[in-house]
Amino acid sequence: MILEGLIPALARARTFEKALSLGGRSADFSLVDGLRAPLLAGLLTRKGGPRALLAVVATGRESEALRRSLASYLPSATIVEFPAWETLPHE
């Protein structure tokens, strides 16, 4: 499912727009899981925003879920998911 159109709708919320305005500098965000992917996608698509982004999550399951979610918001983006640190090269 493609969700690109949801980001402009979310940006109408004052707090979401404020978070997007911080995209040009280093920032930490605390938010509910459901807003993680839209905010990251919004930061990447915002004019003058970052061209690349590193998202660190706690588990492989979270990483896979975030990758799938980001692909829904940014279908043309290249999304790279690194394997879990405990995964051996031959696995």
| Structural domains counted in the chain | 1
Query: Rounded to an integer, what distance in angstroms lies between the CA atom of residue 89 and that of residue 74?
Result: 29
Task: Give the domain range for residue 15.
Answer: 6-73
Task: Note whether residue 41 is domain-resident.
Answer: yes
Can you tell me whether residue 84 is helix, strand or coil?
A: coil
* Domain contains 62: yes
The answer to whether 39 touches 3, Cβ cutoff 8 Å, is no
> What angle (nearest 5°) sits at the alpha carbon of residue 67, between those of residues 22 and 84?
105
pLDDT at residue 29 in the model: 81
Global pTM reads 0.79
- Per-residue pLDDT tens, the chain, 91 aa: give them: 678 888 889 989 999 999 888 877 777 888 888 899 999 999 888 876 678 888 888 888 999 999 999 999 999 889 998 877 776 666 5
